[in-house]
Every structure is written in C-alpha cells, then in structure tokens.
Amino acid sequence: MLPSSFGQRVARSLWRAAPTLAYSGVVGWGARRTLPPVVRKAVIGGFARKFGADPAEAEKPIEAYQSIQEFFTRRLKPGLRPIDSSPNAIVHPADGRLVAAGVSNEDSRVEVKGISFSIPQLLGGEDIAAPFIGGAFAITYLSPKDYHRVHSPSEGEVTGWVHIPGTLFPVNDGSVAREPGLFAINERHVTLMEGPVGRFAVVMVAAVGVGHITVAYDPTVATHNGLADDGQIRIRRYPEVQRPRMERGGEVGIFHLGSTSIILFEKGRATLESADVGATGRVGARIGTRA
C-alpha cells in the first residue's frame, strides 16, 4: 500500500493536470444545447433527480426550459425566498451549504477549518482588499442541486466590479483540502458595494463546469465572453451618479453551472452571529446583523 502522503501527492498532481478549462467548455456547450420539446421533461427531470434539484421550486414547469443550463439558471417561484425585513439584518446571498464564516485575521488572510486564502489575491489587489481586512466573511458552496442566482446580503449601491481570470478547479471539500488558496486561484467575479453596512463585496468563484458568470446590474459583463481574453484583471469603477442600486436580497449575478459565493464586510461593520456553519442556507434568511 502506498504511503498516504505519497498517494495524496499523486492525487493532487493528477487533479492539477486535469484539463478543466477545456472540460468546462465541453460541459457548458452541452448544457446550452436546445433540447427537442419531446425529450425536455425526461432529460431535465433526469438531471434534477440525479443531483437532487427540486423542480417544484422553479418559476416555470420543467418542460418549459429549453436546455439544462436554462433550468440550472432558473428563477424560483415568487415569494419562495422571503427576505428578512429586520432593519439591521444581513441575509444569505445564496442557497447552499455554509462552509465557513468568521472574521479575517489582520495579516490579510482567511484561515479557518482548512480554508486558506489571501484577501488581496482573492479580490485582485491590496487597495481593493484594504477595507475588508479584519472584517466578517462567509463562504457558501452551491452544489448542482441548488438555485444558482446570487443575491446581495444588504442594501446599497454597486461601486464597481473586478474580474480575475484563473483556473476552473472543482470547489468541493476534497478540492479545497488539496489546493491551498483555491478560492483565490479559480476565476472569480467581485461585485463591490457600499451601503448602511459600509463597504462589502460579493465574490462569485467559478469552478469546473462553470466558467461563465453574468451579473444582473450590468448587461455588458459576461465572463468568457470577451471580458478578459488576454488573461488580465479587469476593474470597473462606476461614477457616483451611475451606480446601480441594489436592494437587500436583490439579484447580483448568475452562475451558469455551480460554484461558490463569498461575502466580505468592512472591518467592524457586520457580525454574523446567525451563521450556522455546515447547515444549508437559503437566500434572504438572516445570517447576521450590521453594526
């Protein structure tokens, strides 16, 4: 039997060698194919059963979705995810398992339960990350069964966004354990906001089979659609008079196949006392309170 450390090294090497960009392209191509009406219910229903998605929550009947991706990016029935209306509430940004929550340390890193990453690397720069050092954060993993639209944890204005190209490794527990700093290696899109809770960021981390993110507040943003073909970080700052307004629980963006959402808050402006790590969170349910 091979020593466990050697086996882990082999597994990690094979995992890193996987052609995730090409694979994601193939998966995305297949998911986007329009299905003949006669097979839609069977194919999409089979997808839902395999991964445990609940078609009863979807906005439309299952046969009304023309492709697997269209079902994957489905809206939910109106009122299905009520938004906590308490004056100071901070709410879950996504459906999914809360894998970590806490306060980042003062040396610009998140270190919790095997998860490690640099906040400046995650967000694309020291100046962008500065307000969030020592602030509260929460990480939510979206599995294939989950609703894949990401929402704002608090009300405010979108001050800008950052798109950071990167890899498309899986983001399940095993992958996070194998690759230190995984969340700051994979491709990601950062929405920067400011409101009563101060400055905060909603990070959408792409993964294998994903590689495509769109945002609700700016139709010109679509990763893997010419946004960063040269591999460079893109940053946009909105002039104050043009900042998109976001309500608490408002839609921020869509994963076109699943991944991870990270929210970060300005130091001293938010507490996440309602965060139940390991449990499944739902969009709009209270996760914390603004200071």
Q: What is the pLDDT of residues 17-41, one digit of tens each?
A: 444 544 444 344 445 568 888 888 9
Closest CA to 182 of 193, 170, 192: 170
Q: How confident is the model at residue 49 (pLDDT cuts 50, 70, 90)?
A: very high
Q: Of 114-128, 131-145, 164-178, 204-218, which gets the smallest average pLDDT?
A: 164-178
Supply 289's token pair. Answer: 């309170």
On the question of pLDDT at 14 being above 50, the answer is no
Question: What residue ranges in 64-154 does DSSP mark as E strands?
Answer: 89-91, 96-103, 109-112, 115-118, 136-141, 149-151
pLDDT at position 212: 77
Write the DSSP assignment of 238-261 as a string of letters. --GGGPPEE-TT-EEEEESS--EE
The domain segmentation of the chain, as residue ranges, is 4-72, 89-290
On the question of pLDDT at 113 being above 70, the answer is no
Interatomic CA distance for residues 291 and 278, integer angstroms:
24
Interatomic CA distance for residues 69 and 143, integer angstroms:
14
172/125: higher pLDDT: 125
- Selected catalytic residue, list 24, 95, 152, 212: 95
Secondary structure element (H or E) that encloses residue 172, with its range:
none
Q: Which residues contact 94 (CB under 8 A, 6 or more apart)?
A: 140, 142, 146, 147, 148, 149, 150, 151, 261, 281, 283
In the residue annotation, 151 being an active-site residue is answered as yes
Interatomic CA distance for residues 193 and 175, integer angstroms:
30
16/86: higher pLDDT: 86
- Selected catalytic residue, list 151, 163, 212, 256: 151
On the question of pLDDT at 289 being above 60, the answer is yes
Helices (H), 66-155: 68-72, 119-123, 126-129
Q: Tell me the average pLDDT of the chain.
A: 83
pLDDT at position 176: 65
Interatomic CA distance for residues 50 and 236, integer angstroms:
39
In the residue annotation, 256 being an active-site residue is answered as no
**Model confidence pLDDT, tens digit, residues 137-146:** 999 999 889 9
Are 145 and 56 in contact by the 8 Å Cβ rule? The answer is no
Closest CA to 68 of 100, 88, 92, 39: 39
Residues pairing with 203 in the sheet: 190, 262
Residues pairing with 235 in the sheet: 162
User: In the 8-state DSSP scheme, what is residue 82?
Assistant: P
On the question of pLDDT at 9 being above 80, the answer is no
Interatomic CA distance for residues 214 and 80, integer angstroms:
23
Tell me the residue type at 22.
Answer: A
Secondary structure element (H or E) that encloses residue 193, with its range:
strand 188-195
